[in-house]
Amino acid sequence: MLKKLVFAFVIGITSSAIAQEEDLLALVNEPEVGNVKVFATFKTTKIVNAQSIETVKKGDLDFRITHRFDDIAVGGSGHTMWGFDNSMDIRYSFDYGVTDKITLGLARSKYNELLEGYAKWRFLEQTTNNKVPVSIAAYTNMGFTPKDKALIYSGVDKSVTQKTAHRFSYFSQLIIARKFGNWFSAQIMPSYHHRNFVKYAINADNNAEETNGIVSLGVGGRIRFTKRMALIVDYFYNVSKYRQNNKANPFYNPLAVGLEIETGGHVFHLNFTNNGAISETNFIPNTTSNWLDGQFKFGFNISRVFSF
């Protein structure tokens, strides 16, 4: 018995001595590092065409200027300096971080003279220990076009009642994103777009009519190849029978690739897209140009964040 106790005594001494001399830091119960929220899944609030999972930080204002020029590689495009003489769309936007998770924004586009108000709420955040494997955000956007009536109703039967409500369109989506390691991020975006007013049209090849609502599935990704540069890609697949194999009025799904350059405070995007329009409300239903026909455009985006 005594032996055992002496033994325990010795163990007690040595273990406390070890704890004291060699492993002080092991005594600290610091919050587990593995359990932190993943940040910078994407670098800005948009990928190229698509909204990204990112929101603006609380109290910050993200001012964005986006440009799309004209087709680069169609016949005669040399006369417009490969599209640079024309601007298909220009968009200015202001995104404000109400909280770290909620962003409200306003924007104005040249295309359809579109005025937008939108909100994004990132309600789930991926954690580094994978307890939460993805981040999820909800994005919703309301658009209003102040276009001249004659333009909105051109080619429309006179008997159609003209309403202010016809000027509104909506876009909503869920953004599910994951950052894989430090160099690759991806997201998918089930989306729904609704226009209050569409002109009657029919696809002669499958007898499908144009619809007010269009469901689409977007995918996007970012590959960082240096600390400050990344390749960005996004694509929307539109589930619209009217747009499928429409030989008389062909439609294409918007595909965008870009180079992202981050300088700290500023983020620059240099993009190529087949769609001319910048806002979802415009490019989801109206993309009629095809990458394979050389109908892709150069575009750029500048994002500048102001902190208050």
Partner 1 sequence: MKKIVLLSAVVLFSLASKAQIFMAKSAEISFFSEARLENIDAKSVTGKPIISVKSGAFEVQVSMNSFKFKSGLMGEHFNETYVESHKYPHAIFKGKIKDNDKIDYTKDGTYDVLVEGNMTMHGETKDVSATGKLTIKGNQILVDSKFKLKLADYKIEVPTSKLANIAEEVDVTIKATLEPLKNK
Positions that interact with partner 1 (CB under 8 A): 1-2, 5-6, 8-9, 12-13, 15-17, 19-21, 24-25, 27-28, 30-31, 33, 36, 39-40, 57-60, 97, 100, 128, 182, 227-228, 262-265, 305, 307
- Closer of 131 and 227 to partner 1 (Cβ): 227
- Closer of 260 and 280 to partner 1 (Cβ): 260
- 110-122 in b/e form (b: 16+ CB < 10 A) is bbbebebebbbbb
- Closer of 21 and 157 to partner 1 (Cβ): 21
Token couple for 102: 């909620």
Least distance in angstroms from the C-beta of 52 to partner 1: 14
Least distance in angstroms from the C-beta of 133 to partner 1: 17
Least distance in angstroms from the C-beta of 9 to partner 1: 5
- Closer of 175 and 305 to partner 1 (Cβ): 305
Least distance in angstroms from the C-beta of 294 to partner 1: 37
> Which CA distances in Å does 267 have to 49, 139, 232, 304?
15, 22, 13, 7
- Closer of 11 and 156 to partner 1 (Cβ): 11
**Which conformational region is residue 109 in: left (phi greater than 0), alpha (psi within -120 to 50 degrees), or beta?**
beta
Least distance in angstroms from the C-beta of 237 to partner 1: 31
18's enclosing H/E stretch is helix 2-21
**Residues 220/47, Cβ–Cβ less than 8 Å:** yes
- Closer of 24 and 150 to partner 1 (Cβ): 24
Least distance in angstroms from the C-beta of 23 to partner 1: 9
- 252-284 in b/e form (b: 16+ CB < 10 A) is bbbbbbbebebeeeebbbebbbbbbbbbbbbbb
Q: Which of 66, 46, 65, 64 has the alpha carbon at shortest distance from 55?
A: 46
Q: How do 102-109 and 87-97 pair as beta strands?
A: antiparallel
